[in-house]
């Protein structure tokens, strides 16, 4: 199995992504590192531990990382969608964690996993990219030990937290720019343009809820999130953003990617946190760095894969 670290801010779709990773034999989950984001760091760290307890994987270390972005803190804005506790107000319905938090900072745990690994490690950042920017800045010599970063973030044609920006990038644009543009580590970016198209409907959620206790617990977290997406998508469906990125980690190639030059707007103003994808392959004056951006998938096959994996432990 491919070694994997997930850097996460659970978060309802993070919860789905973590269950997917824990249930997939193709990957070897070496650690979870947490970051502020959907809610504060204390809550995201507790939620990561609760979710590992839910899937019986408390052998996986959890280490807490950044409690704020590199430069400009923002007032929290996501609690309406993810609930005050980050898990739809239902976090206490999950098993109480038995394992302690790893006392080391997230960046040290990431560095340690990379150093010890005998093959390159995939990192899946599915929250603000503060920890990852700090890792690359602190330990540049470990970059060759990173297989690739499969990042959930950005929106090329749409925003969610603002008209132009997606939440993870907007939460720490300077960190995102460091990772996506300034560094040279291979990146696959999974933006909301695609994750919205992969949204799952109530029939999918009902099937998951009926698949067993883990599926039932996951769906039990989704009430405020579903209500938000019913409005955002104008239909009874919700986006599983982070789980779509994890699907690409588990089955590389399940998403169709296009190579394009990407830049992140770090100015303070209405376009802060916007991701610009420059597809003008002929142009000689493109900005940013060329990375892979996920643009399409066999949507029905992807939904079936997610349902099958999340519903059953193997
Ligand atoms: C991203 O923002 C968070 O609210 C979700 O967990 C996901 O990582 C989607 O824009
Ligand atoms: Ca997330």
What would the pLDDT profile of 270-281 be if each residue is shown by its tens digit? 999 999 999 887
ipTM, two decimals: 0.99
The predicted-structure confidence for 45-67, as pLDDT tens digits, reads as follows 999 999 999 999 999 999 999 99
Radius of gyration of the chain (CA): 18
How far apart CA 250 and CA 255 sit, in angstroms, is 11
Assign 126 a pLDDT band (cuts: 50, 70, 90).
very high
Q: Mean pLDDT throughout 219-237? A: 95
Per-residue confidence (pLDDT) for residue 314, from 0 to 100: 52
Per-residue confidence (pLDDT) for residue 280, from 0 to 100: 84
- Per the model's pLDDT, the better-predicted residue between 74 and 282 turns out to be 74
Question: Element (H or E) spanning 237, and its range?
Answer: strand 237-238
The predicted-structure confidence for 95-119, as pLDDT tens digits, reads as follows 999 999 999 999 999 999 999 999 9
**pTM (two decimals):** 0.97
Residue 1 has pLDDT above 70, yes or no: yes
Q: Mean pLDDT throughout 146-151? A: 98
219 alpha carbon – ligand 2 mean position (Å): 17
Q: Which residue numbers are catalytic?
A: 241
Which of 168, 194, 238, 275 is the pocket-test mutation for ligand 1 (most atoms within 8 Å of CB)?
168
The predicted-structure confidence for 253-269, as pLDDT tens digits, reads as follows 999 999 999 999 999 99
Counting atoms of ligand 1 from 1, which one is nearest the CA of 38?
4
How far apart CA 64 and CA 253 sit, in angstroms, is 31
Q: Mean pLDDT throughout 148-161? A: 97
- Give percent above pLDDT 70 in the chain: 99
Bin 37: left if φ > 0, else alpha if -120 < ψ < 50, else beta. Answer: left
Per-residue confidence (pLDDT) for residue 74, from 0 to 100: 80
- Asked whether 13 lines ligand 1 (CB < 6 A), one says yes
DSSP assignment of 271-300 equals TTT-EEEE--TT-S---SEEEEEEEEE-HH
Assign 313 a pLDDT band (cuts: 50, 70, 90).
low
Q: Mean pLDDT throughout 21-44? A: 97
């Amino acid at each position: 199995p491919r070694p994997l670290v997930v850097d996460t801010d659970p978060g309802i779709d993070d919860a789905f992504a973590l269950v997917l990773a824990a249930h997939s034999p193709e990957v070897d989950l070496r650690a979870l590192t947490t970051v502020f984001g959907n809610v504060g760091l204390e809550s995201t760290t507790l939620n990561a531990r609760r979710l590992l307890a839910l899937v019986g994987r408390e052998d996986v270390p959890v280490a807490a990382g950044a409690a704020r972005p590199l430069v400009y803190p923002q007032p929290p804005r996501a609690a309406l969608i993810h609930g005050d506790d980050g898990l739809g107000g239902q976090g206490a319905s999950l098993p109480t964690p038995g394992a302690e938090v790893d006392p080391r900072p997230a960046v040290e745990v990431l560095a340690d996993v990379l150093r010890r690994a005998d093959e390159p490690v995939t990192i899946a950042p599915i929250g603000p990219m503060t920890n990852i920017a700090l890792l690359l800045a602190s330990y540049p010599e470990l970059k060759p030990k990173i297989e690739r970063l499969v990042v959930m973030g950005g929106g090329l044609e749409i925003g969610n937290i603002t008209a132009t920006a997606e939440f993870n990038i907007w939460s720490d644009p300077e960190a995102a720019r460091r990772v996506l543009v300034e560094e040279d580590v291979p990146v696959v970016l999974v933006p909301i343009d695609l994750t919205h198209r992969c949204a799952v409907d109530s029939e999918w959620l009902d099937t998951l809820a009926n698949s067993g206790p883990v599926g039932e617990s996951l769906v039990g977290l989704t009430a405020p999130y579903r209500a938000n997406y019913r409005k955002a998508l104008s239909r009874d469906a919700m986006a599983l953003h982070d789980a779509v990125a994890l699907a690409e980690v588990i089955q590389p190639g399940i998403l169709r990617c296009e190579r394009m030059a990407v830049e992140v707007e770090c100015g303070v103003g209405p376009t802060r946190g916007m991701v610009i994808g420059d597809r003008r392959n002929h142009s000689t004056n493109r900005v940013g760095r060329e990375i892979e951006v996920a643009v399409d998938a066999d949507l029905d096959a992807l939904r079936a894969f997610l349902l099958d994996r999340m519903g059953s432990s193997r």
